[in-house]
Amino acid sequence: MAEVQAVKDTDTIKLISHLLEIRHSKQMSDIWNIGINLALRISDLLSIKFTDVEANRLTIQESKTGKTASILLNAKSEEIIQRIREEHPTHIYLFQSYRNKQAINRVAQPLSRRAVSKAFAAIGEELNIPLGTHSMRKTRGYHLYQATKDIARVMKMLRHSSEGVTLRYIGITQQEVDKDFRDLVL
């Protein structure tokens, strides 16, 4: 499996959202859009419950690290979450599996990571880019870094402990760092 990268072009980010909606479902498009805005790992993103959202803040405990993530929701995230809540008032999970309707006595479950991975990979294949569930988190980190050039800020957002790991994670290469040094003349 090829390593996925950050999506660096904003038009491609919008195209991915559009293609996910028309080729797969509105739910897949919502996962992409919320995932880009929250920069969570897919396991944490899919485990979000409506009770984890209070006012304009999401608070969850990350499954991988055990760290608490407290994220202020931007307008786009709030709008999507509110729409999903209104469309599915009985759901427990933000991205609840609709298959549970077929089994009335089953406990509600979030959409599976595998289903999301398959949809993202299919769109990546169509666009000829390595796209996966980590692409959302990497894309958010990459664009924050491009906007601020503040690696410490990106590290904090991604809850990483090493600059090197964060730079590799978001796809900043030595050539890009060299270009910044060459182009910024004071």
Summarised one tens digit per residue, pLDDT across range 48-58 is: 999 999 989 99
Is 45's pLDDT higher than 70?
yes
Proportion of the chain above pLDDT 70, given as a percent: 95
64 catalytic per annotation: yes
Q: Give the separation between CA 113 and CA 111, rounded to whole angstroms.
A: 7
Once rounded to an integer, what is the mean pLDDT over residues 152-158? 92
pLDDT band at residue 181 using 50, 70 and 90 as cut-offs? confident
The mean per-residue pLDDT over the stretch 94-99 comes to: 88
137 as an active site residue: the answer is yes
Higher pLDDT, 174 or 89: 89
Domain ranges (residues) in the chain = 10-183
Give the pLDDT mean for 70-90. 96
160 is catalytic: yes
Contact 38, 30 (CB under 8 A): no
Q: Is 41 a catalytic residue?
A: yes
Catalytic residue among 41, 91, 140, 143: 41
Mean pLDDT value of segment 121-145:
95
| Catalytic residue status for 134 | yes
Q: Domain 10-183 has what CATH class? A: mainly alpha
Note the pTM of the prediction, 2 decimals.
Answer: 0.88
Q: Which of 64, 67, 101, 182 is catalytic?
A: 64
